[in-house]
């Protein structure tokens, strides 16, 4: 049962967005695209559909640091205030949707900054998962951990072939927060979610589709955005308030659980990242990522040479 407090709060919020004058929205429409500070998140509003394409833009891998999360959080506020008709979340990278949380925020953190960082992540999740406007993700690259989280917060996911998606935290020796788990439980069957979470499994696009972690596969980014638009257009015939309240009621328990325990969640996070074993795992992971990145040219050269040998063998 929905508490009357909840219904009242959300109804007020939704009516509030409906009543917002179109003036603010027109400002965005007129300019067509808006960029946040440092252009970490780009927003382009399609004049015809009214849908906003929100592009995460922090090269090389859109790892989620404090600045990117703060920028995303204020974009979500703007979309809400401007009574957005729908949002498509994507990435400016050609191979990575988002690499998840920036490990540098977790490894040997500055306590003042990490408090802001985690609070910002909580904000983004609450705003995205509970948004009154409909959302879809055009997953145009790998989406591990926090990348998968943001994609799962959206109501529809379209992904390009041959990438990977999943909550891989256990592989890093860390535990996904309960609200990460709740988002996955809301997306795929319960038992599959438990297996995926405990194994820290990353799914290839085809397997993600079979599991229901994504809804469609697209040929390229344009196709993914087009498929997201088709999904969002389905809502044009549905009364806005009824749609938004239904979505928010469906997700209410998960959201309230975090809303009511934000400080406890922060303290748990502090406790976890202060654990020397967690720091040691993170340290090893940072070193592994750096090594992998440096080895790339060598691995590519080996691949290239292998290709030459193979074609020579075929000729002979
Ligand atoms: C009770 C609670 C217990 C514990 C709680 C503890 C903590 C709580 C937090 C828990 C939640 C965590 C959620 C997360 O999101 S953790 C982040 C997980 N992310 C990953 O594992 C992804 C790692 N990255 C990759 O797999 C690849 O980079 C990727 C497939 C995304 C792209 O591969 P590609 O080959 O294209 O690029 P790379 O050469 O690997 O990387 C390029 C440079 O980017 C740096 N990089 C990559 N990922 C990250 C990252 N997540 N954070 C920071 N930096 C990252 C990489 O090191 C390269 O940098 P350079 O070496 O070139 O400088």
Count CB-CB contacts under 10 A for residue 234.
10
Q: Whose alpha carbon is nearest atom 50 of ligand 1? A: 102
* CB-defined site of ligand 1, < 6 Å: 60-61, 63, 95-96, 99-104, 106, 142, 144-146, 168-169, 172, 174-176, 268-269, 272-273, 278, 289-290, 292-293, 296
Distance 295 CA to ligand 1 centre (A): 16
Q: Return the pLDDT at 31.
A: 38
Active site residue 101: yes
Q: Return the pLDDT at 121.
A: 98
ipTM score here? 0.97
Q: What angle (nearest 5°) sits at the alpha carbon of residue 165, between those of residues 163 and 171? A: 115
Per-residue pLDDT of the chain (316 residues; tens, 9 = 90+): 334 444 444 444 433 333 222 223 323 333 367 665 569 999 999 999 999 999 999 999 999 999 999 999 999 999 999 999 999 999 999 999 999 999 999 999 999 999 999 999 999 999 999 999 999 999 999 999 999 999 999 999 999 999 999 999 999 999 999 999 999 999 999 999 999 999 999 999 999 999 999 999 999 999 999 999 999 999 999 999 999 999 999 999 999 999 999 999 999 999 999 999 999 999 999 999 999 999 989 988 998 898 888 888 887 7
Annotate 187-221 with DSSP letters as a single string: TS-HHHHHHHHHHTPPEEHHHHHHHTSSSEE-SSH
Q: In the chain, what is the straight-line distance between the N-terminal and C-terminal CA atoms, in Å? A: 73
Q: Return the pLDDT at 36.
A: 58
Counting ligand 1 atoms within 8 A of each CB, the residue from 58, 59, 60, 61 with the most, and so the one to mutate, is: 61
Active site residue 83: no
Distance 222 CA to ligand 1 centre (A): 26
Closest to 160 (Cα-Cα) out of 249, 251, 222: 222
Closest to 89 (Cα-Cα) out of 122, 124, 65, 38: 124
Active site residue 258: no
Distance 288 CA to ligand 1 centre (A): 10
Closest to 84 (Cα-Cα) out of 31, 11, 35, 14: 14
In ligand 1, which atom is closest to the CA atom of 172?
A: 21
DSSP bridge partners of 45:
52
Distance 49 CA to ligand 1 centre (A): 35
Distance 124 CA to ligand 1 centre (A): 19
In ligand 1, which atom is closest to the CA atom of 95?
A: 36
Active site residue 146: yes
> How far is Cα 150 from Cα 196, in angstroms, rounded to an integer?
17
Q: Return the pLDDT at 196.
A: 98
- Mind listing the domains of the chain with CATH numbers? 2-274 (3.90.226.10)
In ligand 1, which atom is closest to the CA atom of 290?
A: 61
Q: Which ranges constitute the DSSP H helices of 33-110?
A: 66-81, 103-106
Q: Return the pLDDT at 34.
A: 66
């Amino acid at each position: 049962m929905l508490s009357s407090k909840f219904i009242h709060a959300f109804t007020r919020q939704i009516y509030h967005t409906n009543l917002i004058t179109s003036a603010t929205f027109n400002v965005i429409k007129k300019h067509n695209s808006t960029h946040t500070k440092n252009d970490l998140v780009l927003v382009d509003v399609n004049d015809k559909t009214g849908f906003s394409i929100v592009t995460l833009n922090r090269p090389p891998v859109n790892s989620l640091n404090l600045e990117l999360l703060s920028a995303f959080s204020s974009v979500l506020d703007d979309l809400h205030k401007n009574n957005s008709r729908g949002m498509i979340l994507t990435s400016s990278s050609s191979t990575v949707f988002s690499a998840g949380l920036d490990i540098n925020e977790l490894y040997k953190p500055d306590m003042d900054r990490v408090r802001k960082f985690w609070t910002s992540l909580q904000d983004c999740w609450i705003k995205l998962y509970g948004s009154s406007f409909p959302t879809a993700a055009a997953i145009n690259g790998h989406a591990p951990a926090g990348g998968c989280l943001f994609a799962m917060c959206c109501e529809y996911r379209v992904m390009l072939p041959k990438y990977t998606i999943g909550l891989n935290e256990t592989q890093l020796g860390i535990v996904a927060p309960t609200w990460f788990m709740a988002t996955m439980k809301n997306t795929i069957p319960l038992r599959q979610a438990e297996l995926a979470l405990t194994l820290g499994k990353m799914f290839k696009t085809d397997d993600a589709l079979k599991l229901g972690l994504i809804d469609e596969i697209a040929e390229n980014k344009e196709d993914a955005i087009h498929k997201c638009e088709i999904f969002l257009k389905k809502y044009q015939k549905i009364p806005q308030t009824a749609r938004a309240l239904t979505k928010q009621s469906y997700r209410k328990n998960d959201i309230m659980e975090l809303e009511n325990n934000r400080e406890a969640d922060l303290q748990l996070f502090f406790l976890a990242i202060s654990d020397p074993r967690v720091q040691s795992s993170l340290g090893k992971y940072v070193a592994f990522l750096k090594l992998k990145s440096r080895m790339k040219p060598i691995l590519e050269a080996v691949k290239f040479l292998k290709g030459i040998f193979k074609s020579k063998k075929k000729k002979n």
